[in-house]
Chains A and B, each alone.
Chain A
Amino acid sequence: MGARNSSGLVAYVNARLLDPATGLDTRGALLTNGETIADVGPGLFQGGVPAGMEVVDCRGLCLAPGLVDMRVQLREPGEEHKETLKSAGEAAVAGGVTSMVCLPNTNPVIDEVATVEFVARRARKIGLAKVYPYAAATKRVEGKELAEMGMLAEAGALAFTDGIRAIRNAQVMRRALTYAATFGFLIVQHPEEPSLAEGGMMNEGELATRMGLSGIPVAAEAIMLERDMRLVAITGGRYHAAHVATAEGVEIIRKAKAKGLAVTCDTAPPYFALNELAVKDYRTFAKLSPPLRSETDRQAVVEGLKDGTIDAVASDHSPQDQDSKRVPFAVAEFGGVGLETLLPVTLDLAHNGHMSLIEALRLVTCAPSAILGLAAGRLKVGAAADLVLFDPDRGWKVNAKAFHSKSKNSPFDDRPVQGMVMRTIVDGRTVYKHDA
């Protein structure tokens, strides 16, 4: 956060430039001018940096587009004791996230122009990661009447979803897809048949039976996805499935894509890095929605990421305070924080040999931004200088207590990870710097 010189030019030299959008992976430099990227490439500053520029020596570390997290819950307005736009912003930039898209399940719900503008204005004022709201697909996320999609989009809503609630009524979903298609808007679904998930707390099966907990069958995801694929086919709408977590879910999306439907999906780190065993001993921090599934499902999610069936990775950041989690499993809230572990757990995909570093990075940069029609997530001249500098190999141990997020409910607490954010830049400003 050092003082900048009057020219507003900052030269990031000696970097390993990574741009998943173009496949660029090379030693080089990047120049920012004020809020934008002015130049980038392997040849830049080969003859030295001209005088009058601030110079940041990247010491060979990776300089990449800042992460685009397409699914976070920010809890403001309404549940500021769990997270605020400020604490989420701090958590985001500590995790290398420079753009995040928040769900409308706040109190009040983001289903009116005024709420969309409130979130955008608050986030701009805080000046950390950029916040783009999803707006509700239906009024009050009740799944009954369509929200004012057109006007909400004009106010800045990126896409439409009932967030953590599935749009359960098939007729309502059909109309939402059809109406959204009028404007080319995207509908994002929480793919879970509510009547099968009701009362369920974890993956249905032997472990749930042994623990005496009600399970949610894999079919809850499959049924909703199958239904929605048929609705996409008859409406011609654009559809995105959030946090796909089962082998069957991955297969349904794979087939829909092969048919040419306008379908995309994401998953979240817990679904490719953990399985249902994480809830053993009633660990409520691993009580997630959708639930962690079997090892077979986890492997299928990894395969889906490898073959491109799953387009993106989002943190699915769901802050819950101690009072919501330090209770019996049945009454504990669902969800885990994820902003500060998104990068290292996603990089596990590269470290474990499933894909290259740049392919892993793509899942959290240009891939989600392409789905949402954002310009972010690219190292492009003229684009906003939203960047992350990270050490891909540096190991550390997740310590939820040290998180910037107000809530500490991480399913990854104590996990050894590799990949550390050293500096995060938003609109040319350094907004986070790792201490050591």
Chain B
Amino acid sequence: MTDAAFPHRHLLGIQGLAPSEITSLLDLAEGYVEQNRSSDKRKNLLRGRTVINLFYENSTRTRTSFELAGKRLGADVINMQSAGSSVQKGETLIDTAMTLNAMHLDVLVVRHPDSGAVKLLSEKVNCAVINGGDGSHEHPTQALLDALTIRRRKGKLTGLNVAICGDVRHSRVARSNIYLLNAMGAHVRLIGPRTLLPSGVDRMGVEVFHDMRKGLADVDVIMMLRIQNERMSGNFIPSIREYFHFFGLDREKLGLAKPDAVIMHPGPMNRGVEIDSDVADDVERSLIRSQVEMGVAVRMACLDMLTRGLPQSEGDA
């Protein structure tokens, strides 16, 4: 039995979640923000539960965030990096799933470089699965933490103008955010050179701009995306210099948005590539550090919500 507020066994993506389900997760996360700020950060909600972070891509921030979230709820958290493991030795995803099943874990957090790989794993394992980012497909906990960050600053999501800027083509963060912000009634704009905006993206309920000056006008939230050098399989942009000139966020371009517009970035930032240090470090406008804090709270909420549906005895040693 899953919880009525969130009737899903896994969290594989934002697409398909109802607005009420998103709100339930965000509300639950609010409570964890307060808990994380108090001196007693631990709760024993997940005592006896096992959470495995299975990361097929290098990640420090997301993995640490999930690890902290699991530990603060009292779970046993184990990190599995693909480098050097059987995964690298050619074990298939399905064989890995069989191995994990034999370990009787409760929650599996997966990050994988291929779109759809987390879904494939979720079909083969007995535990709850959280998508920690799959290829260019989805990164649902990032979208949730972004939403929580915006909601706490702006008091709402509905009706806000949110600009997502940069490499939308390769970004799972952009896709999850488009789904979430649309579901919650925000107006989403995408800004970037045409090579970084994939075909058909204009049919995803967004307004598309190729000029920061036009796209940023009257915007409440600016989400900058990382230029993912490791994924730019071709020459999508001529040079970093040219990219920053037209699409990098600096003080001047920021001036085109609303006076109280806030800046977000999923990290890690490339200073001087997509964002100028001057604005990234502006404590008044930049919510980048707050995003990291919300990340832990949101992941605690996700772990909490998904384990509510699990049988009680499972995982006890």
> Nearest chain-B residue to A209 (Cβ)?
B198
Q: Check B134 against A206 for contact (C-beta < 8 Å).
A: no
Chain B proximity mask over A203-215: 1 for CB below 8 Å, otherwise 0: 0111111111101
Q: Check B134 against A208 for contact (C-beta < 8 Å).
A: no
Distance in angstroms from B13 CB to nearest chain A CB is 10
Report how far A328 CA is from B175 CA in the complex, Å: 19
Number of B interface residues, CB 8 Å?
A: 25
Which chain A positions have C-beta within 8 A of B201? 206, 209
Contact A330 to B115, CB < 8 A, known contacts A282-B120, A323-B92: yes
Report how far A289 CA is from B288 CA in the complex, Å: 43
Of A207, A281, A327, A330, the residue contacting B200 (CB under 8 A) is: A207
Q: Check A328 against B93 for contact (C-beta < 8 Å).
A: yes
Contact A211 to B200, CB < 8 A, known contacts A323-B92, A330-B135: no
Which chain A positions have C-beta within 8 A of B115? 211-213, 282, 328-330
Q: Check A206 against B175 for contact (C-beta < 8 Å).
A: no
B161-214 with Cβ < 8 A to chain A: 172, 175, 198-201, 203-204
Which chain A positions have C-beta within 8 A of B134? 212
Report how far A215 CA is from B198 CA in the complex, Å: 9
Which chain B positions have C-beta within 8 A of A281? 119
Q: Check A328 against B199 for contact (C-beta < 8 Å).
A: no
Q: Cβ of B74 < 8 Å from any Cβ of A?
A: no
Which chain B positions have C-beta within 8 A of A330? 114-117, 135
Which chain B positions have C-beta within 8 A of A212? 115-116, 134-138, 172, 175
Which chain A positions have C-beta within 8 A of B136? 212-213
Q: Cβ of B99 < 8 Å from any Cβ of A?
A: no
Of A209, A323, A328, the residue contacting B116 (CB under 8 A) is: A328
Q: Check A205 against B114 for contact (C-beta < 8 Å).
A: no
Q: Cβ of A108 < 8 Å from any Cβ of B?
A: no
Q: Cβ of B85 < 8 Å from any Cβ of A?
A: no
Of B120, B203, B204, the residue contacting A328 (CB under 8 A) is: B120
Q: Cβ of B94 < 8 Å from any Cβ of A?
A: yes
Which chain A positions have C-beta within 8 A of B135? 212-213, 328, 330
Distance in angstroms from B199 CB to nearest chain A CB is 5
- Which of A281, A323, A327 has the most CB atoms of chain B within a 10 A radius of its CB? A327
Which chain B positions have C-beta within 8 A of A328? 93, 112, 114-117, 120, 135
Report how far A204 CA is from B201 CA in the complex, Å: 11
Report how far A199 CA is from B115 CA in the complex, Å: 13
Which chain A positions have C-beta within 8 A of B116? 211-213, 282, 328-330
Q: Cβ of A370 < 8 Å from any Cβ of B?
A: no
Report how far A217 CA is from B136 CA in the complex, Å: 18
Q: Cβ of B101 < 8 Å from any Cβ of A?
A: no
Q: Check A199 against B233 for contact (C-beta < 8 Å).
A: yes
Q: Cβ of B15 < 8 Å from any Cβ of A?
A: yes
Report how far A281 CA is from B123 CA in the complex, Å: 11
Distance in angstroms from A429 CB to nearest chain B CB is 42
Which chain B positions have C-beta within 8 A of A199? 233
> Nearest chain-A residue to B138 (Cβ)?
A212
Distance in angstroms from B206 CB to nearest chain A CB is 11
Q: Check B199 against A215 for contact (C-beta < 8 Å).
A: yes
A208-240 with Cβ < 8 A to chain B: 208-213, 215, 217
Contact A327 to B92, CB < 8 A, known contacts A212-B135, A212-B137, A213-B136: yes
B105-124 with Cβ < 8 A to chain A: 112, 114-117, 119-120
Q: Cβ of A331 < 8 Å from any Cβ of B?
A: yes
Q: Cβ of A326 < 8 Å from any Cβ of B?
A: yes
Contact A327 to B93, CB < 8 A, known contacts A209-B204, A212-B172: yes
Distance in angstroms from B239 CB to nearest chain A CB is 22
CB-based closest 9 A-B pairs: A206-B200, A212-B137, A282-B116, A328-B114, A212-B136, A212-B115, A328-B117, A209-B198, A330-B114
29 A–B pairs (Cβ distance < 8 Å), ordered by A? A205-B199, A206-B203, A208-B199, A208-B200, A209-B199, A209-B200, A209-B204, A210-B204, A212-B115, A212-B116, A212-B136, A212-B137, A212-B138, A212-B172, A213-B115, A213-B137, A215-B198, A217-B199, A282-B119, A327-B92, A327-B94, A327-B120, A328-B112, A328-B114, A328-B116, A329-B115, A330-B115, A330-B116, A331-B114
Question: Residues on B close to A: CB < 8 A?
Answer: 15, 92-94, 112, 114-117, 119-120, 134-138, 172, 175, 198-201, 203-204, 233
Question: Residues on A close to B: CB < 8 A?
Answer: 199, 204-213, 215, 217, 281-282, 323, 326-331
Known contacts A207-B200, A213-B116; can you find 17 more A-B pairs with CB under 8 A?
Answer: A199-B233, A204-B200, A206-B200, A208-B200, A209-B198, A209-B204, A212-B116, A212-B137, A212-B138, A213-B137, A217-B199, A326-B92, A326-B120, A328-B112, A328-B117, A330-B116, A330-B135
